[in-house]
Structure 1
Amino acid sequence: MSRADMQKDPNEVAGMFDATAKRYDLLNSLLSAGNDKLWRIQMQRAVRPQAGERILDVAAGTGASAAPMAKAGALVTALDISHGMLEEGRRRHPDVEFVHGSATELPFDGDTFDAVTISFGLRNVQQPRAALSEFHRVLKPGGRLVVCEFSHPPVDVVRKGYELYLRTALPGMARLASSNPEAYRYLVESISTWPDQQSLSQWIRTAGFTRVAHRNLTLGVVALHRGRKPTEQTAALRLARHASPEEQAD
């Protein structure tokens, strides 16, 4: 994918990840100085998977986030658009159900899952706001959404240092370590053009989620976003609060 085509054609994105599947997790640990493992631990804590819960992990890759949730006893479905990633995931984690599919057209009925998670994948989706609406559709009322994604450090000096790292050090390391450095040039550009924490929070609210909040990790290099699909009772209360005096009288 040349210069990170921001249209993010699904076939090109899938092909890019097919080419990096076998070494993807190793390279992520290298390029993040091991922080990727800490970020996934924080995501796991935010999800709080319970035994018997149905959890959908979208853009699951090789199952690095899905496997710990399955180990906690949850019934995890790992979905990805890349056949290469799915093949590698099935090899590594035979106890996790891997499914091929698109984040914007999830192959599941509505009100199916107790939680939906996505780690470092939402920015690769061609229509991320459509994906958020799909996550809302397949969640049960009261279900949890957790999005772990690269973001923008709010402190100016940290942000400038991070941007310098993205422009210079990361591409150089990728050229040395990866057989597909173009994928990591895409990584840099996809992070740089991704909306900030407040904008993504607003997208999540617009998709219908309540109790939306985010927490910065590693000084805001990554942000952990959360939301809930409202129950019927919660939705009714929200409507009542916003009703006009005449409507309330009725």
Structure 2
Amino acid sequence: MTRASLDKQPHEVAAMFDDVAAKYDLTNDVISLGQARRWRKHVAAAVGGRPGEKVLDLAAGTGTSSIPFSADGAYVVPCDFSLGMLREGKKRHEWLPLTAGDATRLPFADEVFDAVTISYGLRNVQDTDAALREMLRVTKPGGRVVICEFSHPTWKPFRTVYTEYLMRALPTVARAVSSSPDAYVYLAESIPAWPDQPALAGRMRQAGWTDVAWRNLAGGIVALHRGRKAATSAG
């Protein structure tokens, strides 16, 4: 079994990412047409990690997404629930404190992190709302969240072309470079099923995040959502 179904059973999703770990970063670069690296820079700028701050990088995979936060001087904790991804990451980045954890039941105390971020991972969590609440729980009052996720192109003609790419070309491209191409069939199916930009913003607010906003990258192929935890708790 190399791909998960859209009901996103945790054991299926973890197994799927275990299978693609070895070539995951390379495949992402290829299927994003080289844009993945540029999007990481946008995430790092939005997080704005500073020396002395603690940043939680969820769905960090091999830890590649965590490097920019460390370069900015923050103490970054990469967290993922795929042990295969974490093992691959440990080979490449021995110094990173790679941590196994489920986004819906994070293994951290309350109000530990100045910022929490997740890139291309929230879409794979079975209970999105529980993950958003957990991210809020572990964030310090006044802290911030940055969510980078595939989304919905805003220009209708381009959206049609993009959907055709996802459903037809992407699995073919993945077959040429990935160790488990069937996993990218799941990717192609999961993106159109994901909430659009306003809907995700609404779910963030419902979870308790404030000052929620987003910006589109590449015409909405990717959306960068941001929010803050209230500086003081109500009540």
TM-score tier by shorter-chain length is: over 0.9
Q: CA deviation at 1:94?
A: 2.1
- Residue number in structure 2 paired with 1:216: 216
For the pair 1:27 / 2:22, whether they are aligned, the reply is no
Distance, in Å, in 2 between the alignment partners of 1:199 and 1:231 is: 24
Q: How big is each residue's C-alpha offset from its partner over 1:7-49, in whole Å with a ceiling of 9 and x where there is no partner? A: 2111111111111111000000001110000111100000011
Whether the 8 Å contact between 1:70 and 1:95 is mirrored in structure 2 is: no
Q: How big is each residue's C-alpha offset from its partner over 1:204-240, in whole Å with a ceiling of 9 and x where there is no partner? A: 00010111000000000000000000011xx55xx9x
Whether the 8 Å contact between 2:104 and 2:130 is mirrored in structure 1 is: yes
- Residue number in structure 2 paired with 1:144: 144
Q: Kindly report which structure 2 residues correspond to 1:91-106, keeping only aligned pairs within 5 A, or say none.
A: 91-106=91-106
Distance, in Å, in 2 between the alignment partners of 1:3 and 1:21 is: 13
Three-state SS of the structure 2 residue aligned to 1:89 is: helix
- Residue number in structure 2 paired with 1:187: 187
Q: CA deviation at 1:90?
A: 1.6
Whether the 8 Å contact between 1:54 and 1:113 is mirrored in structure 2 is: yes
TM-score by structure 1 length? 0.91
Whether the 8 Å contact between 2:6 and 2:186 is mirrored in structure 1 is: no
For the pair 1:72 / 2:72, whether they are aligned, the reply is yes
Distance, in Å, in 1 between the alignment partners of 2:23 and 2:180 is: 10
- Residue number in structure 1 paired with 2:129: 129
Q: CA deviation at 1:95?
A: 2.5
Three-state SS of the structure 2 residue aligned to 1:117 is: strand
Distance, in Å, in 1 between the alignment partners of 2:225 and 2:210 is: 12
Distance, in Å, in 1 between the alignment partners of 2:55 and 2:82 is: 20
- Rg comparison, structure with higher value: 1
Q: CA deviation at 1:179?
A: 2.6
Whether the 8 Å contact between 1:4 and 1:190 is mirrored in structure 2 is: no
- Residue number in structure 2 paired with 1:244: none
How many matched pairs? 235
Distance, in Å, in 2 between the alignment partners of 1:68 and 1:196 is: 27
Distance of aligned partners of 1:3 and 1:192 in 2 relative to their CA distance in 1, 3 Å threshold: farther
Whether the 8 Å contact between 2:43 and 2:146 is mirrored in structure 1 is: yes
Q: Comparing both structures, which one devotes a greater share of its residues to helix?
A: 1
- Residue number in structure 1 paired with 2:229: 229
TM-score by structure 2 length? 0.97
Three-state SS of the structure 2 residue aligned to 1:33 is: coil
Whether the 8 Å contact between 1:4 and 1:185 is mirrored in structure 2 is: no
Q: CA deviation at 1:2?
A: 7.5
- Residue number in structure 2 paired with 1:243: none
Whether the 8 Å contact between 1:70 and 1:96 is mirrored in structure 2 is: no
Three-state SS of the structure 2 residue aligned to 1:76 is: strand
Percent identity over paired residues: 53
Distance, in Å, in 2 between the alignment partners of 1:57 and 1:123 is: 15
Q: Which moved more, 1:6-15 or 1:101-110?
A: 6-15
Distance of aligned partners of 1:3 and 1:52 in 2 relative to their CA distance in 1, 3 Å threshold: closer
Residue segments in structure 1 that go unaligned for 5+ positions in a row: 240-250
Residue segments in structure 2 that go unaligned for 5+ positions in a row: none
Whether the 8 Å contact between 1:148 and 1:222 is mirrored in structure 2 is: yes
Distance, in Å, in 2 between the alignment partners of 1:203 and 1:223 is: 15
Aligned Cα RMSD in Å? 1.3
Distance, in Å, in 2 between the alignment partners of 1:197 and 1:42 is: 17
Distance, in Å, in 2 between the alignment partners of 1:121 and 1:231 is: 26
Whether the 8 Å contact between 1:67 and 1:93 is mirrored in structure 2 is: no
Distance of aligned partners of 1:101 and 1:154 in 2 relative to their CA distance in 1, 3 Å threshold: same
Q: Which moved more, 1:194-203 or 1:167-176?
A: 167-176
Letter in 2 for 1:82: S
Distance, in Å, in 1 between the alignment partners of 2:213 and 2:170 is: 30
Whether the 8 Å contact between 1:123 and 1:190 is mirrored in structure 2 is: yes
